[in-house]
Amino acid sequence: MNPLLEIDDLSLTFRTEKGPAHVLDSIDLTMVPGEVVGLVGESGSGKTSLARAILGVLPGAQAEIASGRVRLDGIDMLDDGKATRDARGRLVTFVPQDPFDSFNPLFGVGTQLADIVRYRAPPATGHRLARSRRAREAMILDMLAAVQLPASRDLLNRYPHQLSGGQRQRLMIAMALLPQPRMLIADEPTAALDVTVQVQILGLLRRIAAERTLAVLFTTHDLGAAWEICDRIIVMYAGQIAEILPRKAFFAAARHPYTRMLLASLPKPGHQAVGIPGESASPLAPPPGCRFNPRCPLASQMCRTVRPLPSRSEEGHLLACHHPLPTAS
């Protein structure tokens, strides 16, 4: 299959008051249509910056692309041209972390959904301004059913604060699907939700991706959630890709010391969860070589000077480490 998303050697720097912050370091990533990829990492690992780069909404004043490119269906998303602006919100849409703050509190949710249809609906479904209010409403009601919400006008007349967290996030997913995109970026979509609602939302995303051949890039710091719904999991540390794992091999095949420590930090019955000692590397002054080396028990002189290049160990498994651990089995 032809790749939908191609990221080559992307390095990104933010200008800050304390000097340049190196938030992404030589990221390579391709995704095919319909694939669900989880981007796992701690806060500050660069996963949100990567998501924003794909959407083409990096803060223009601070962000500087040091190298690389991001292409979505052949369109350069780091450009600011018409093709990029048309792609944003149509070819690729977005499910935010906090569905409450992401709604404007002063408008009914129906108005906000209708504006997405009005300005972002695919051109193929007819000229967007010619389509009537009634047609827009029909599209929205259909979509409510697709995200398992009651397809009622009553819901659309409500304001964001009158809805539950789960309802709001389902509406956000509905808004992301209305333009009929080929790719969806979900930035920690369940972080603001109750645990039971999290499971439902993840299941919904998984099902929708399969039904619509929609590529989903899903950022999270929750390994369990990623394993739940993803075909591939990318583990990021301080702006570098540490390891890319296929879903089925995730727990068994992980060989990067950071991935293994992440797994060990998961709470399990009968086991004491183990934290990762040390602090996450600062993007202001990242350690040379492998950025994980100051916290890695296996770090050698080589790790402190030479960055390990990602190498393919087996099908679907990519590893960037000088001293990989043996497989757990």
Question: Phi, psi at residue 44, to the nearest 5°?
Answer: 85, 5
166-195 binders of other proteins (CB under 8 A): 175-176
Q: Does 119 bind other proteins (CB under 8 A)?
A: yes
Q: Does 164 bind other proteins (CB under 8 A)?
A: no
* 242 alpha carbon, distance to own chain's centre: 16
Question: How many angstroms separate the Cα of 4 from the Cα of each of 12, 35, 250?
Answer: 21, 10, 24
Based on CB atoms, which residue is closest to other proteins, 122 or 224?
Answer: 122
Residue 202: CB partners within 8 Å, gap ≥ 6? 190, 225, 228, 229
Least distance CB 94 / other proteins (angstroms): 5
Q: Does 250 bind other proteins (CB under 8 A)?
A: no
Least distance CB 175 / other proteins (angstroms): 7
Q: How far apart, in whole angstroms, are the C-alpha atoms of residue 85 and residue 103?
A: 21
Site size toward other proteins, by CB under 8 A: 30
Whose CA is closest to 154, among 208, 120, 110? 110
* 63-72, strands of its sheet edge to edge: 19-31, 5-16, 63-72, 75-76
Q: Does 18 bind other proteins (CB under 8 A)?
A: no
313, two tokens: 């160990």
Q: How many CB atoms lie within 10 A of CB 160?
A: 20
Per-residue x/- track, 36-65, other proteins (CB under 8 A): ----------------x--x-x--------
Based on CB atoms, which residue is closest to other proteins, 54 or 290?
Answer: 54
Least distance CB 119 / other proteins (angstroms): 5
Q: How far apart, in whole angstroms, are the C-alpha atoms of residue 99 and residue 149?
A: 15
State the sign of the Cα–Cα–Cα–Cα dihedral 38, 41, 42, 47: negative
Q: List strand residue ranges (DSSP E) for 32-98, in order.
A: 36-40, 63-72, 75-76, 92-95
- For other proteins, the binding residue among 79, 115, 137, 222 (CB under 8 A) is 115
Based on CB atoms, which residue is closest to other proteins, 159 or 227?
Answer: 159
Q: Does 107 bind other proteins (CB under 8 A)?
A: yes
Stretch binding other proteins (CB under 8 A), from 88-96, 243-251, 259-267, 269-277 = 88-96
- For other proteins, the binding residue among 34, 44, 46, 96 (CB under 8 A) is 96
Q: How far apart, in whole angstroms, are the C-alpha atoms of residue 169 and residue 30?
A: 27
Based on CB atoms, which residue is closest to other proteins, 80 or 314?
Answer: 80
- For other proteins, the binding residue among 23, 116, 143, 225 (CB under 8 A) is 116
2, two tokens: 């032809």
Stretch binding other proteins (CB under 8 A), from 92-100, 130-138, 279-287, 305-313 = 92-100
Residue 181 DSSP SS3: coil
Residues that bind other proteins (CB under 8 A): 52, 55, 57, 85-90, 93-94, 96, 98, 101-108, 115-116, 119-120, 159, 161-162, 175-176
